[in-house]
Amino acid sequence: MSQEPARNTFTHLPPDKQERVLDAALTEFADQGYHQASLNRLVAKAGIAKGSLYQYFPNKEGIFRHIFQLALNLVRRTLVAVKEATENENLFFRLEKSLQAGVRFLQEHPRIYSLYLKIQFDRQTPLRRELLAAVRRHASEYFGSLIARAKARGELRPGISEPAALFLLDAVFDRFLQAAAVPYLDVTFNLHQAPEEAVNRRIRELIDLLKEGLAA
């Protein structure tokens, strides 16, 4: 499969130095995207020599892979935690809590989210297929299991199209997080850097609309 991108030299380094390098790398890739990212800037930020970087990683893509894996693991852990924490609640409450958790994640790890958005729409970025496949799988499992449980508990309108419901939830959630993270994206909610209370109000409005529908 894919060989380990980090060299032994890197894992033997004192943890704080590893931290500095990874931090600089995440910042650079998140700010600039893969191709725009400059290794010269990266090493300057990390306070190491250019040559050292190539003792730690085989090349630019190797650094990227490493960051990518760390980020993906963090997301995975977070998703599992939220799902378990609301296991026995009803669908709409779970959705509300999920969206809140999403916003929290994005505020705590803005660079990871920014990196994700960059990869999503830059066809040239390495690992793009892998990333999108992984995200798709997670989203599908997550919402799929919420919907299945809701159906079993009779919380869903009968005859509903499950793929459509999944698509709808995925779309609305993703857009909500984007609007909270990216300035100028949002049409009416003004979510970017809004106070928590305002965000939560919007979440409730939105869930309510999903629940009851638009039609009279």
Partner DNA sequence: CTGGGACATGACCAGTTGGTCATATCATTA
Partner DNA sequence: TAATGATATGACCAACTGGTCATGTCCCAG
Q: What is the DSSP letter of 157?
A: P
Q: Which is nearer to its own copies, 54 or 92 (CB)?
A: 92
Residue 190's identity, in one-letter code, is N
End-to-end CA distance of the chain: 54
Using rule CB under 7 A, residue 40 touches DNA: yes
Residue 55 C-beta: closest distance to DNA, Å = 5
What's the token pair of residue 8?
């032994």
CA angle 177, 206, 76 (to 5 degrees): 35
Residue 165 touches which of DNA, its own copies, none (Cβ within 5-8 Å per kind): its own copies
Residue 169 C-beta: closest distance to DNA, Å = 38
What's the token pair of residue 51?
């040559």
Let me know: does 87 contact 60? Beta carbons within 8 Å: no
Residue 167 touches which of its own copies, DNA, none (Cβ within 5-8 Å per kind): its own copies
Cα separation, 114 vs 111, in Å, equals 5
- Taking every pair of Cα atoms in the chain, the longest distance, rounded to a whole number of angstroms, is 67
What's the token pair of residue 74?
């963090």
Residues that bind its own copies (CB under 8 A): 31-33, 35-36, 91-92, 117-118, 120-124, 128-129, 132-133, 136, 139-140, 143, 154-158, 160-161, 163-168, 170-172, 174-176, 179, 182, 184-189, 202, 205-206, 208-216
What's the token pair of residue 142?
């997550």
Q: Which is nearer to DNA, 12 or 123 (CB)?
A: 12
204 Cβ contact partners less than 8 Å away, ≥ 6 residues apart:
96
Residue 38 touches which of DNA, its own copies, none (Cβ within 5-8 Å per kind): DNA
Rule CB under 7 A: choose which of 19, 49, 122, 136 binds DNA.
49
Using rule CB under 7 A, residue 151 touches DNA: no
Neighbour tally for 183: CB within 10 Å: 9
Let me know: does 118 contact 132? Beta carbons within 8 Å: no
Residue 34 C-beta: closest distance to its own copies, Å = 10
Q: Which is nearer to DNA, 59 or 190 (CB)?
A: 59
Residue 23 touches which of its own copies, DNA, none (Cβ within 5-8 Å per kind): none
| Contact residues for DNA, defined by CB under 7 A | 8-9, 12-13, 17, 37-41, 48-52, 54-56, 59-61
